[in-house]
Amino acid sequence: PLDLSRCSNLQSIKLQSNPWDLHRAMKNVVDPEPGEISGTLFVKLIRGEDLARMDGLRGLSDPFVTIEISDKTFRTHVARGTLNPVWKQTYLIEVDHRLAHQDMRFSVYDWDLDGTDDFMGSFRIQLSPQQLDQWSVTDPSAEASSWHALQGTDDNGMQAQGRVQVEFRYVANDGAVDTILTYLKRIQQGGWSRETLASS
């Protein structure tokens, strides 16, 4: 599979001042084994809308999102004092056959200063071969985001409310370097978050 750092199947890559420097990390693109899913999944947490009011005094929340897949967890920054947070953070997940039928769990929390963050709701998406096909990149400039309603019961005992906008892009190993570099150029030009490609 595509190996960006030769250390694990799920990669966290910090964007430096010049994203083109990451080209030097992409040295080991090989053909996948027969039947193996192999490529890179871009997951961009864009924003939330109409989230629950978890702070009774202010009538607002301090939302952040975690993404859990396999044994890895990624986390966005905290959007302070809002029910309509904007994150615009992008994560790169290297996919192989071991992740073929696992779920990605997206959970929204209200940040608290004392560390007792409040659960606000979640949703799951299965990382199946069919789903990866739907996310496969045909036009890097095309809009590919979708909205996902939060489910479950929040820590106030209320039904979760609101939704989260996420963009998924899957790049198979065929031509992966060229396509990934296209995305890195978009990030540099402001189309994606400059600060973080991925952070755990």
C-beta separation of 13 from 199 below 8 A? no
CATH topology for 19-188?
Immunoglobulin-like (2.60.40)
C-beta separation of 135 from 170 below 8 A? yes
The pLDDT confidence band at residue 148, using thresholds 50, 70 and 90, is very high
Q: What is the pLDDT of residues 183-195, one digit of tens each?
A: 666 655 555 443 3
Residue for token pair 């790169």: 92
Q: What pTM, to 2 d.p., does this model score?
A: 0.72
Q: Write down the domain spans for the chain.
A: 19-188
Name the H helices within the chain: 129-135, 176-188
